[in-house]
Amino acid sequence: MKTIGLIGGMSWESSSEYYRIINETVRERLGGLHSAECIMYSADFEQIENLQHQGKWEELTKLMLNFAQKLEGAGADFIVICTNTMHKMAEEVENNINIPLLHIADATAEKIIEKGLGKLGLLGTNFTMEEDFYKKRLEEKYNIEVIIPSQNDRRIIDSVIYNELCLGIIKQSSKEKYKEVINRLISDGADGVILGCTEIPLLVSQGDVEMPVFDTTTIHAKSAVEFALA
């Protein structure tokens, strides 16, 4: 079993889901008392969030490189960034370590392709929905068309992530708002929806939506196990 290096804490609410899913999946695969060999570097999300909203991405990149290099030095065999948004600097991280990085968009794209879908709605932070680092990878590498919510809907999605989900606050009213946004994306032609923020599955799941839902947290965590056991 390879040792999984997890960059977490962004937020710890979803990082704890990674830890649970990874260990449950290892137990399902290997049985008995087996659990994952993993190391997590958990960041202080207050610092990360402040830098994000100040647009200080160079500073954030340096932090992410530091986290990844610490994990590599501690014995990790590959890196998993436990957040969609911080894949903005995935390429820089990958180019500055000597171990593989398992990209969340790649793992998600493989599941989308397995289902034969080609046009997906994307929910996430404003950074993920509006910038190209995530959408462009899906479009150019996998020929998956990505559509995003309207500006007002993006504001709702982003606000719930930072002001509720990252704080462990789960509201039924917010779930209903998300379902309304998803239904509008389906009306715009989406074949399914990517939950492109690792906190969103805390609020919305496949049971809430008729169209296929791609839970990036679960997909990424399970792909980490597959890579570790390969």
What residues act catalytically?
83, 197
- ω into residue 11 within 30 of 0, thus cis? yes
- Give the whole-angstrom CA distance, residue 110 versus residue 105: 9
Q: Which of these, 40, 43, 36, lies nearest to 11 by C-alpha position?
A: 43
CA separation, residue 8 to residues 16, 43, 51 (Å): 9, 6, 16
Residue 61, H or E segment: helix 57-74
Q: Report DSSP state, residue 131.
A: S
